[in-house]
Amino acid sequence: MNLQNPKKFKMLIDQAHESALNVLRPISRKYDKAEQSYPKELDMFASLIDGMNDGGEGINAGAAVGKRGNTDSGNKNGVNMSTVLGVIEMCYGDTGLLLSMPRQGLGNSAIAAVANDEQLERFKGTWAAMAITEPGCGSDSAAIRTTATKDGNDYILNGEKIFVTSGERADAIVVWATLDKKLGRAAIKSFVVPKGTPGMKVERLEHKLGIKASDTAVIRFIDCRVPAENLLGHAEIDVAKGFAGVMETFDNTRPLVAAMAVGCAKASLERIKEIFKDQLDENYRTPYLQTSHIAAQIYRMEAEWEAARLLTMKAAWMADNKKPNSREASISKAKAGRICNEITLKCVELAASVGYNEEELLEKWARDSKILDIFEGTQQIQQLIIARRELAKSSSELK
């Protein structure tokens, strides 16, 4: 793995960076205060991103992991890498606005991970949210209670989902449900439920600490009838494979969330370096132990940020090269989520009154950062997955 950004993505990164500065950053505070209001400025911007994606690798929330175990020689930097690099720059602008971007929902990654070829074509261009979490079933996705009962050529969904990002705005919801509770996690499948389907109701939108530009919904399913063809992948319950098929979705989305955290932390780091530029050695010639306390803290944060960035790139590179990346996806998410929290909060602290008021975006980035350590699996869940991979233990052996 080369530690530099691939040269072929330089234009993409530059465009994303300029978009972050000139499109997202100027409206960041506006939609932070106007919580749950849809950012209409994103419509044209999303169309531009669609055009970039049609031309090749771009910023695509549906970045596909593809079939694992491929040992083809060579080094490929594809859509997973380009998406991670683009997301970093976009979240340097605003995380909540990126999460509000049409056709860039986390549900699109779920579709890319497990859909068959016909479904990939049918749902192309669909803005898909993802509904996993339930009341009383937080990070333990295997404890899902929403049911999907076969009825002729349809499935009938019953249950409730919470914390659905873009749940009201998206064209469709990817809903995780169980075909048979007695068979445990192996029976959990995902279904694409189009907006407006009878029996699916948005109960309320949540008021949140951060990412206020993004709508977060509670959705209830009451005898919601969905065509069997909308079950992603295959309907067979493979007890031997267990939850592995569904977990491929997380292998897809966790590096993207890590990239969001890297981008948000980058914004805070850059601003704090501007504030204290007179105390910093831009060439890093001064030995660490001889610098001021503030400079030492900033240098330490930079080092941690760089580690998180490289771990995120590694997880994306492995996906592009069709290497199993479950462990690396969780490592990147755990590291980046934690470091983003630490960096954004420390920057607020170092900037004192400047960091705590709304004249700066430092306090907003600190609020936005917390969710990046929580959704797509908390810090504790990531560490549990990493431990299982390191020790070659199953979920039943290591809980």
Per residue, the 3-state secondary structure of 195-222, as one string, reads CCCCCEEEEEECCCCCCCCCCEEEEEEE
The answer to whether the 7-119 and 244-391 domains have the same CATH topology is no
C-alpha 97/C-alpha 93 separation (Å) is 8
Q: pTM value?
A: 0.93
Identify which of 249, 280, 245, 263 has the alpha carbon closest to the alpha carbon of residue 97: 263
Per-residue confidence (pLDDT) for residue 110, from 0 to 100: 85
Whether 376 is catalytic: yes
Q: Is the pLDDT of residue 141 over 90?
A: no
Cα angle vertex 89, ends 86, 91, to 5°? Answer: 105
Could you tell me the residue ranges of all domains in the chain? 7-119, 127-230, 244-391
Q: Which amino acid belongs to residue 249?
A: T
The CATH code belonging to domain 7-119 is 1.10.540.10
pLDDT tens-digit profile of 20-50?
999 999 999 999 999 999 999 999 888 878 7
Per-residue confidence (pLDDT) for residue 335, from 0 to 100: 98
Identify which of 263, 43, 38 has the alpha carbon closest to the alpha carbon of residue 167: 38
pLDDT tens-digit profile of 254-283?
999 999 999 999 999 999 999 999 999 989
Place of tokens 């205060």: 33
Beta strands 128-131 and 172-178 are parallel
Lowest mean pLDDT among 16-30, 125-139, 365-379: 125-139
Per-residue confidence (pLDDT) for residue 54, from 0 to 100: 67
Q: Which amino acid belongs to residue 36?
A: Q
109: β partners: none
Distances (CA, A) of 138 to 142, 162, 238, 249, 328: 10, 9, 24, 17, 22
8 Å CB contact between 252 and 65: yes
Q: Is the pLDDT of residue 66 over 90?
A: no
Measured from the Cβ of residue 320, the count of other Cβ atoms closer than 10 Å reads 23
Kindly indicate whether the domain formed by 244-391 is annotated with CATH number 3.90.230.10: no
In words, the CATH class of domain 127-230 is mainly beta
C-alpha 104/C-alpha 19 separation (Å) is 16
Give me the catalytic one of 57, 160, 248, 376. 376
pLDDT tens-digit profile of 288-343?
899 999 999 999 999 999 999 999 999 999 999 989 999 999 999 999 999 999 99
Identify which of 317, 324, 316, 256 has the alpha carbon closest to the alpha carbon of residue 74: 317
Q: Is the pLDDT of residue 392 over 50?
A: yes
DSSP helix/strand/coil, 158: strand
Per-residue confidence (pLDDT) for residue 55, from 0 to 100: 60
Q: Which residues contact 129 (CB under 8 A, 6 or more apart)?
A: 105, 106, 107, 164, 165, 166, 167, 169, 170, 172, 173, 174, 217
Q: Which amino acid belongs to residue 92?
A: Y
